[in-house]
Structure 1
Amino acid sequence: MLNKVILIGRLTKDPVMRYTSDMVPVTTFTLAVNRNYVSQSGERPTDFIPIVTWRKLAEICANNLKKGRLVAVTGSIQTRTWDDSSGNRHWVTEVVADDVRFLEPKSGFGSGSAPEEEKELDEDFDKLFEDIPDDFDGFTPIESEDDLPF
């Protein structure tokens, strides 16, 4: 089995850092990721993906990321549930990040990169796919809603 996610997108708002009861830092943010097609209305649909980072990576993200910053995130999908005070069960699917790469310089994000920086970013982007096995042929479509975990 393989659970690996690679996303490139922009933060929808500033990240939020909290601490667990054991004082472990955890930072969350939402990534806006465009889909690879244009709708009939001429717009590119966007998904809003919740991202979770832990420990040192959480501190780095909280201290360096801001709304609008372009990043590459690698990690895995996690689904969890909880019951609220009314007894209603809630599901959340999020990406637990193993790595977050800043794809724009901190001082000028949103304004584009210099050509040599773009070359470095292209090389870094290519490295994101090195861990995917050669025989990985994609995802198996879900045939029925009965196969969904929620």
Structure 2
Amino acid sequence: MNQFCFAGKVAALPTLSTAPQGWKTGTVLLDVQRPFANGRGDFESDLLPVEVWRGSAETLAHCVKIGSWITVRGRVASRMVDSGNGTEIPVLSLVAEKVEYLH
């Protein structure tokens, strides 16, 4: 099963653009706290870029601000990209399938 589920704070305003097919697409940077403390007792967090598509991308771009709490459920997608020296490397993307807004 290829699924992830995050709850986090919006760390940067979402981008919004149009894909070649005409669909809206965007990326939101989420600040997601780790579920365990480090050696100093602090809970660190990860900044995770999440791709959002179509109507969800438009809604997200208009409804959140920095610091807004959202949950995202989705899948991990992989593709091969040229590394610039003639070899291809795998790149992973987090693709949202459901976004919920927390108050």
Q: For residue 90 of structure 1, report the CA deviation from its aligned partner.
A: 4.9
Q: Where is the helix percentage greater, Structure 1 or Structure 2?
A: 1
Find the aligned partners of 1:88 and 1:67 in 2 and give their Cα distance: 38
Q: Who wins on radius of gyration, i.e. which is larger? A: 1
**Offset from partner CA, 1:8-30 (integer Å, 9 cap, x none):** 00111000001112211001111
Indicate yes or no: 2:2 matched with 1:3: yes
**What corresponds to 2:19 in structure 1?**
20
RMSD of equivalent CA atoms: 1.7
CA distance, structure 2, for counterparts of residue 95 and residue 50 of structure 1: 7
Amino acid at match of 2:96: A
Task: Check the 8 A contact 1:30/1:48 in 2, yes or no.
Answer: yes
What 5-or-longer segments of structure 2 have no aligned partner? none
- The answer to which structure, 1 or 2, has the higher relative contact order (CA under 8 A, 6+ apart) is 2
Distance 1:88 1:61 in 2: 36
Gap runs ≥5 in structure 1: 105-150
How far does the alpha carbon of each residue in 1:29-48 deviate from its partner, in whole angstroms, 9 at most, with x for none?
Answer: 11111111100122112122
1:61-140 aligned within 5 A: 61-83=60-82, 87=86, 89-104=88-103
**Residue number in structure 2 paired with 1:32:** 31
Q: TM-score, normalised by structure 2?
A: 0.88
Counterpart position of 1:50? 49
Number of aligned residues: 103
- Measured in 2, the distance between the counterparts of 1:90 and 1:62 equals 30
